[in-house]
Homo-oligomer: A and B are copies of this chain.
Amino acid sequence: MPERSKAETPLSADPAEATRAALVSAGLHLFGHKGFAAASTREIAARAGANVAAIAYHFGSKAGLRRACAEEVAARIGHVLGDLGAGPRPATPGEARARLRAALRAITGYLAAAPEAADLAAFLLREITEEGEVLDRLYETTVGPRHRQLCALWGLATGTDPEAEETRLSVFAMIGQVVYFRIGRPVVLRRMGDAGLDPEALTRILIRNLDAALDAALDAAIREVPR
């Protein structure tokens, strides 16, 4: 009598869709924390409260579930960053900076607070180190375009070339800081004293620090190329 307990999923009217979602959720967690090959289909099914055969039925194979998980990651990244490039093009450097700060806060808040974000980040990281087709697709459809958008904002905020080497690396560093805190959380928590530090407090401190780091980086970029 397996219960759909651990991989809590937004209940859907369609029970089949619920199974799909539960499998993807369980896949994100186990692929992310144990690696693709090490996560057995039995374990994934058990965590999702589904039968092993459901994986083959809904996704064709274990690899199919992996692809579905990647799509879920892409969708959530899109949802969190939302309409980053939408709306009127920032008219002033100040507006661009505000938009950058908002994006950074959105990512930080989501990664630090949302319970499923841990699985998401872990999954993405696994795919990066394994360098397979899934990463290719994920980069082309999501990571690359989003990075270009952030570079454009950075360029507007600093008056520098959005596609300059330095700009691209600076944006990577900015994102890297956030991702790193999510991935390295077990280590960070040890150092910060796991006991008396609730997630909200950590998020607050984190956002304050990252805001400061962003301003510092932008100001430094402006100082280097004043005009």
Contact = CB atoms under 8 A, between A and B. Distances in A.
A166 interface: yes
A177 to B, nearest CB: 5
Contacts of A17: none
Contacts of A212: 220, 224
Interface of A: 32-38, 122, 125-126, 128-131, 135, 139, 143-144, 147, 165-166, 168-170, 172-173, 176-177, 179-181, 183-184, 186-188, 190-192, 205-206, 209-210, 212-213, 215-217, 219-220, 224
Nearest to A118: B129
Contacts of A205: 165-166, 169
Given A187-B139, A191-B144, A216-B217, A33 B166 contact: no
A208 B176 CA distance: 17
A180 B176 contact: yes
A181 B172 contact: yes
A183 B33 contact: no
Per assembly, the copies of the chain total 2
A215 B209 contact: no
A209 B169 contact: yes
**Interface SS of A by simple majority:** helix
A33 B191 CA distance: 26
A157 to B, nearest CB: 15
Given A144-B191, A180-B179, A219-B216, A209 B173 contact: yes
Q: Which one of A129, A170, A173 has the greatest number of beta carbons of chain B within 10 Å?
A: A129
Contacts of A34: 35, 37-38, 130
Contact of A38 (B36, B135, B219): B36
A139 to B, nearest CB: 6
Query: What are the 4 tightest A-B residue pairs by CB atom distance, in nearest-first order?
Result: A35-B35, A176-B180, A37-B38, A216-B216
B180 A192 contact: no
Q: Which one of A37, A190, A191 has the greatest number of beta carbons of chain B within 10 Å?
A: A191
Nearest to A33: B129
Nearest to A148: B191
